């Protein structure tokens, strides 16, 4: 069975999407429609901008979403998912790919999400850090000592977990985790504590926007970040999508559950190959590919 997966923030690179725009009329049409919806020419920043241009919150998330989703539109019959999942932001791409939401509504939600997250980041000094070489249970135990000031945010693969919280708590947790045997503990170049309780203001804002957006019965199950479980129920998908901003991304658990449900080939649609690398660390025996338009 084919599982299509969609990357999140950090997968962007200068020039992304330019080849799609030039090669496929449908891609050009969708990119131009995105420029209109967003009210600025995101294509100029994607195709000709610098790394710093692409790091702007209002650009990063829509850019990755567009690149990922447009690949599925131009793939034609090659796009035939039995199940889908996305890492953080990528869950929105997955929901367009399995026809839960339209391209237009997905882009509007992603843009709203990016701006709401940025606003929440500015309210509290906060950060994230990748912890390598420790058991998840050890990281969870250390985080539990901080009474919610720092939490596990991304379960990326065995031995790689990201923590998220107030800047002071993350710095202190890094010190403790190094003493507990972490091979590496790296602060991430992000603007705040994604997938933590500090995103509550953004969650409320996004909940309102999601509540007003039509969600349809999908063509295949989506395995969602907050639960790591498959869903085809529009109301359930909405609720889990709202929960996502303040909940950890259970990527390891998601991939394991997709394999248990019959996934044998994972196809990454979007910029880069980060998810393929994580999937191979979760289960080296499954096939991983990039979506080829």
Q: What is the pLDDT of residues 145-181, one digit of tens each?
A: 999 999 999 999 999 999 999 999 999 999 999 999 9
Class level of CATH domain 125-187: alpha beta
Catalytic residue among 93, 195, 196, 247: 195
In this predicted model, what pLDDT tens digit does every residue of 231-270 receive, in sequence order?
A: 999 999 999 999 999 999 999 999 999 999 999 999 999 9
> Any catalytic annotation for residue 88?
yes
Say if residue 124's pLDDT is above 80. Answer: yes
User: Is pLDDT larger for residue 121 or for residue 158?
Assistant: 158
Q: Say if residue 292's pLDDT is above 80.
A: no
Contacts of 44 (CB under 8 A, 6+ apart): none
Report the pLDDT value the prediction gives residue 76, as an integer from 0 to 100. Answer: 79
In the predicted model, is pLDDT for residue 27 greater than 60? yes
Strand ranges of the sheet holding 83-86, from the earlier edge strand across to the other edge: 230-231, 222-223, 83-86, 2-6, 265-268, 287-290
pLDDT at 102: 98
- Reply yes or no on whether the pLDDT at 293 is more than 60: no
The whole-number pLDDT of residue 246 equals 95
Residue 99, phi-psi category: left (phi > 0), alpha (psi -120 to 50), beta (remainder): left
pTM of the model: 0.95
Q: Is the dihedral of CA 21, 26, 31, 32 positive or negative?
A: positive
76/283: higher pLDDT: 283
- Separation of alpha carbons 231 and 225, rounded Å: 11
pLDDT value at position 123? 86
Mean per-residue pLDDT for 123-145?
Answer: 95
Q: Which CATH superfamily, name and number, covers 2-122+197-290? A: Malonyl-Coenzyme A Acyl Carrier Protein, domain 2 (3.40.366.10)
> What pLDDT score was predicted for residue 78?
78
The DSSP line for 231-245 is E--HHHHHHHHHHGG
Is 125-187 the same fold as 2-122+197-290? Answer: no
Give the residue extent of every domain in the chain: 2-122+197-290, 125-187
75 catalytic? Reply is no
pLDDT number for residue 56: 82
The catalytic residue among 68, 75, 88, 111 is 88
Give the tens place of pLDDT for each residue, 71-98: 999 987 778 899 999 999 999 999 999 9
């Amino acid at each position: 069975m084919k599982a299509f997966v969609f990357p999140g923030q950090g997968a962007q690179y200068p020039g992304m999407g330019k080849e799609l725009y030039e090669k496929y009329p449908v891609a050009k049409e969708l990119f131009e429609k995105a420029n209109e919806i967003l009210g600025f020419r995101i294509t100029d920043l994607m195709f000709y901008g610098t790394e710093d241009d692409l790091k702007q919150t209002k650009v990063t998330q829509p850019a990755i979403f567009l690149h990922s989703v447009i690949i599925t539109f131009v793939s034609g019959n090659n796009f035939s998912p039995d199940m889908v999942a996305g890492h953080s932001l990528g869950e929105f791409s997955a929901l367009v790919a399995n026809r839960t939401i339209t391209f237009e509504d997905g882009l509007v939600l992603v843009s709203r999400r990016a701006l709401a997250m940025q606003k929440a980041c500015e309210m509290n000094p906060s950060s994230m850090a990748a912890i390598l070489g420790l058991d998840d249970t050890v990281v969870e135990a250390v985080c539990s000592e901080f009474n919610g000031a720092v939490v596990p945010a991304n379960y990326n693969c065995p031995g790689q977990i990201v923590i998220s919280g107030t800047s002071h708590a993350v710095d202190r947790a890094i010190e403790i985790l190094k003493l507990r045997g972490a091979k590496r503990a790296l602060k991430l170049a992000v603007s705040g504590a994604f997938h933590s309780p500090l995103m509550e203001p953004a969650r409320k804002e996004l909940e309102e926007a999601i509540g007003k957006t039509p969600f349809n019965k999908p063509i295949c199950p989506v395995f969602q970040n907050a639960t790591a479980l498959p869903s085809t129920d529009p109301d359930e998908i909405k609720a889990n999508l709202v929960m996502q901003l303040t909940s950890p991304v259970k990527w390891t658990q998601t991939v394991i559950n997709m394999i248990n449900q019959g996934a044998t080939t994972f196809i990454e649609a979007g910029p880069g190959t980060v998810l393929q690398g994580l999937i191979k660390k979760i289960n080296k025996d499954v096939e991983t590919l990039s979506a080829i338009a």
